[in-house]
Amino acid sequence: MKEFTWISKPYPRVDAEAKVTGRVRYADDLVLPGMLFCKLLRSHLPHARIRRIDTTRARSLPGVLAVLTGKDLPAHKFGILPTSQDQEALCVEKVRYVGDPVAAVAAIDEWTAEQAVRLIEVEYDPLPSYMTIEDALFKEGEPIHAQGNVHKEVSLEFGDVATGFEEADYIREDIFLYHGSAHLPLEEHAAVASYEPGDLLTVWSSTQVPHYLHRTLSKVLDLPMSRIRVIATPVGGGFGGKSDIFNHEIVVAALAMITGRPVKCTLTREEVFYTLRRHPTLMWVRTGVREDGTITAMHFRAILEGGAYGSYGVATTYYVGALQPITYKIPNYRFEGMRVFTNAPPGGPKRGHGTPQPRFALECHLDKIAEDLGMDPVELRRRNLVAPHTKTVNWLRITSCGLAECLKKVVEASRFHEKHRRLPRGRGVGLAVSGYLSGAGLPIYWNDLPHSQVHLQVDRSGSVTLSCGAIDIGQGSNSVLVYTVCEILGVSPEDVRLIVADTAITPIDLGSYSSRVTFMAGNAALQAAQRMRDLIAAAVAEKLGVPAESLIFQGRQVKVGGGEDRALSWREACEVAEARYGLLSATGTYTPPRLAGPYKGSGVGPSPAYSYSACVAEVQVDEETGVVSVEKIWIAHDIGRALNPLLVLGQVEGSVYMGLGEALMEDLSVRQGVIRVPSMLEYKSPTVKEMPEVEAFLIETVDPEGPFGAKECGQGPLLPVPPAIANAIYDAVRVRIDEVPITPEKVLKALERRRKGEEGRFGPGGFPAIRFKEPIRVAPPSPSSAGRVEPRP
Partner 1 sequence: MPRLVRLHVNGQVHEVFTPPHRTLLELLREDLGLTGTKHGCELGECGACTVLVDGRPILACLALAVEVEGAEILTVEGLGRPGNLHPLQEAFMEVGALQCGYCTPGFLLSAKALLDQNPAPSRQEIHEALSGNLCRCTGYLRIVQAVERAAVKAR
- List residues binding ligand FES (CB under 6 A): 186, 237, 474
Taking CB atoms, the residue at the shortest distance from ligand FES is 186
Decide whether 380 or 656 has the Cβ nearer to partner 1.
Answer: 656
| 647 contact, one of ligand FES, partner 1, none, CB 5-8 Å limit per kind | partner 1
Task: Write the CB contacts of 78 (distance below 8 Å, at least 6 apart in sequence).
Answer: 85, 87, 88, 89, 216, 219, 220, 245, 250
Q: Which is nearer to ligand FES, 20 or 789 (CB)?
A: 20
CA distance 645 to 245: 33
Smallest gap from residue 277 Cβ to ligand FES (A): 18
CB 236, min distance to ligand FES, A: 6
Smaller CB separation from partner 1, 9 or 408 = 9
Q: Given the complex with ligand FES, which of 19 and 594 has the nearer CB atom?
A: 19
Strands 670-671 and 628-638 turn out to be unpaired
Report the nearest approach of ligand FES to the CB of residue 657 (Å). Answer: 10
CB nearer to ligand FES: give 186 or 688: 186
Q: Which of 191, 356, 154 is CA-nearest to residue 265?
A: 191
- Cα–Cα–Cα angle for 738, 741, 745, nearest 5°? 85
Closest separation between CB of residue 694 and partner 1, Å? 6
Show the 3-state SS of 504-538: CCCCCECCCCCCCHHHHHHHHHHHHHHHHHHHHHH
Taking the least distance from each CB to ligand FES, the nearer of 474 and 592 is: 474
Q: What is the Cα–Cα distance from 278 to 360, expressed in whole angstroms?
A: 14
Which residue type does 454 have?
A: V
Name the residue nearer to partner 1 (CB basis): 11 or 170: 11
CB of 183 to partner 1, least distance (A): 8
Burial classification of residue 237, based on how many CB atoms lie within 10 Å of its CB (0-12 exposed, 13-18 middle, 19 or more buried): middle
Instruction: Using the minimum distance from each CB to partner 1, give the nearer residue, 125 or 494.
Output: 494
Q: Supply the minimum distance, in Å, between the C-beta of residue 190 and partner 1.
A: 10
384: exposed, middle or buried (Cβ count in 10 Å: 0-12, 13-18, 19+): middle
Nearer Cβ to ligand FES (476/588): 476
The site for partner 1 (CB under 8 A) is made up of 10, 12-13, 15-26, 28-29, 31, 183-188, 234-239, 268-269, 473-476, 646-647, 649-651, 653-658, 679-681, 685, 687-689, 691, 693-694
Minimum Å gap between C-beta 237 and ligand FES is 5
Selection from partner 1, ligand FES, none that 656 binds (CB < 5 to 8 A by kind) is: partner 1
Q: Which does 689 bind (CB under 5 to 8 A by kind): ligand FES, partner 1, none?
A: partner 1
Would you call 292 exposed, middle or buried from its count of C-beta atoms within 10 A (0-12, 13-18, 19+)?
exposed
Q: How far is Cα 39 from Cα 351, in angstroms, rounded to an integer?
A: 29
Tell the smallest beta-carbon distance from residue 648 to ligand FES (Å).
15
Please state, in angstroms and rounded to a whole number, the distance separating the CA atoms of residues 625 and 629: 11
Distance from the Cα of residue 402 to its chain's centroid: 22
Q: Report yes or no: 398 and 701 within 8 Å, Cβ to Cβ.
A: no
Closest to 189 (Cα-Cα) out of 228, 229, 220, 233: 233
Print burial letters for 601-619: b (CB count within 10 Å at least 16), e (below 16): bbbbbbbbbbbbbbbbbbb
Q: Choose between 208 and 602: whose C-beta lies nearer to partner 1.
A: 208
Rg value, the chain, Cα = 27
Dihedral pair phi/psi, residue 609, rounded to 5°: -160, 155
Residue number, 81 or 646, with CB nearest to partner 1: 646
* Bridge partner list, 628: 621
**In the bound complex, what is the minimum distance in angstroms from residue 777's beta carbon to ligand FES?**
46
Q: How far is the CB of 269 from partner 1 (least distance, A)?
A: 4
Q: How far is the CB of 234 from ligand FES (least distance, A)?
A: 11
Distance set, CA 344 to CA 39, 197, 283, 291, 672 (Å): 21, 40, 20, 45, 8
8-state DSSP, 4: P
**Binding site partner of 19, from partner 1, ligand FES, none, Cβ cut-off 5-8 A by kind:** partner 1
**Cβ count within 10 A of residue 568:** 20
